[in-house]
Amino acid sequence: MLPPSRTTLALLAVLLVLVLFPLFGSSFYVGLMTRIIIIAIFAMSLDLLIGYTGLVSFGHSAFYGIGGYALAIAFQDAAVIHLWQALPLSLAAAAVAALVIGWISVRTSGIYFIMITLAFAQMFFYYFFESPSYGGDDGIFLFFKPVLMLGDSDILQLDHENNFYYLSLGCLVLGFLFLKMILQAPFGKVIRAIKANEHRVRALGYATDRYKLVSFVIAGVIAGLAGFLEGAHSGYVNPAYLSWHESGIAIAIVILGGMGTLYGPILGAFIIIMLQNFLPELTEHWQLLFGSIVIAVALFLPHGVVSLPHKLGALFRLKRKHPEDLAKEAADG
């Protein structure tokens, strides 16, 4: 049996810190970390499309918003929100939307795919924005957290911030393991090959559109899960969930963290949300500073922040080499 890699050990160490975080973090920071975890789930689902399937979707926020709106619309007047009813409903709504949008979108590629997914997301955005039945631009408020009853007791008690934090963390871990499993399966190898050279994969006899559609639906369902968690956590769903800004932020998170890694978007979500929350305290021109940081990462870390340890390690090894060895390597190269 092979020993665990450094990446696996680092991920386990981070998970341990996250599990212990509510024990020493204040309620505000636990809530902030819950928000980061939810956005990480959303970004991780987009990484399946961009980083592994080669589909750059600018309308991924549609499924994020639909997951939240399905919860809000179905239970806005309910006295009790049962988790076993609400969660499957949100996931099913996101799955149906992803199936319909994906069935149309995967027949295109490149800029046309981007524009079609963006158009669908904007259609949903303006529908809810202009619909008084669903709160219009004010959105819908939810006054109760979902419950999971066992007899007369709510075993989750999501009104407590720590409990919702652990629910979100559990969803993140399960989502990560699920995506890791399917990416290691033959399906994952095919979608990686589609990203590398779709024409060759099609020539080998694979129905590439079907594989892309399945990947699209899986990503949509996981984005719907993130939307459900965000709506349940904040108690509020509005059309901004469906806007292209949300998709743009998710794309920035995936690129900043590191595409094609799954854990890169998690790191990217932490960096982006923390910068958005704490840079305004430093300067009123925080957006200029925020943009400068993102540009610097794009220029010096094109593979994302996850490549920083490798870069530093390579630089350290280079400094330790003797000049004569460097000259010999240059001559041999």
Q: Looking at residue 332, what is its pLDDT?
A: 58
Dihedral, 235, 230, 221, 39 alpha carbons, nearest 10: 170
Backbone angles phi, psi at 14, to 5 degrees: -65, -40
Q: Looking at residue 328, what is its pLDDT?
A: 58
Instruction: Return all residues near 229 (Cβ < 8 A) that are at least 6 apart.
Output: 38, 41, 167, 168, 171
Confidence of residue 2 (pLDDT cuts 50, 70, 90): very low
Residue range 3-27, pLDDT digits in tens: 557 788 888 999 999 999 999 888 8
Q: Looking at residue 316, what is its pLDDT?
A: 63
pTM reported for the whole predicted model: 0.91
**How much is the mean pLDDT over the chain?**
88
Q: Looking at residue 303, what is its pLDDT?
A: 83
Pairing of strands 149-150, 140-141: unpaired
Q: Looking at residue 285, what is its pLDDT?
A: 81
- What string of H, E and C letters represents the secondary structure of the chain? CCCCCHHHHHHHHHHHHHHHHHHHCCHHHHHHHHHHHHHHHHHHHHHHHHHHHCCCCCCCHHHHHHHHHHHHHHHCCCCCCEHHHHHHHHHHHHHHHHHHHHHHHCCCCHHHHHHHHHHHHHHHHHHHHCCHHHCHHHCEECCCCCECEECCEECCCCCCHHHHHHHHHHHHHHHHHHHHHHHHCHHHHHHHHHHHHHHHHHHCCCCHHHHHHHHHHHHHHHHHHHHHHHHHHHCEECHHHHCHHHHHHHHHHHHHHCCCCCHHHHHHHHHHHHHHHHHHHCCCCHHHHHHHHHHHHHHHCCCCHHHHHHHHHHHHHHHHCCHHHHHHHHHHC
% of the chain with per-residue pLDDT over 70: 92
Q: Looking at this protein, which amino acid is placed at residue 319?
A: K
Burial class (CB in 10 A: 0-12, 13-18, 19+), 196: exposed
**Averaged over 313-331, what is the pLDDT?**
58
pLDDT at 1 over 50: no
**Averaged over 142-151, what is the pLDDT?**
86
CA distance 261 to 265: 8
Residue range 261-315, pLDDT digits in tens: 999 999 999 999 998 888 888 888 888 888 888 888 888 888 888 888 776 666 6
Domain spans of the chain, in order of start? 30-244
Q: Which two structure tokens, joined as six digits, stand for 50?
A: 């961009």
Confidence of residue 77 (pLDDT cuts 50, 70, 90): confident
Q: Looking at residue 209, what is its pLDDT?
A: 93
Q: Looking at residue 154, what is its pLDDT?
A: 85
Residue range 34-56, pLDDT digits in tens: 999 999 999 999 999 999 999 99
Residue range 163-204, pLDDT digits in tens: 999 999 999 999 999 999 999 999 999 999 999 999 999 999
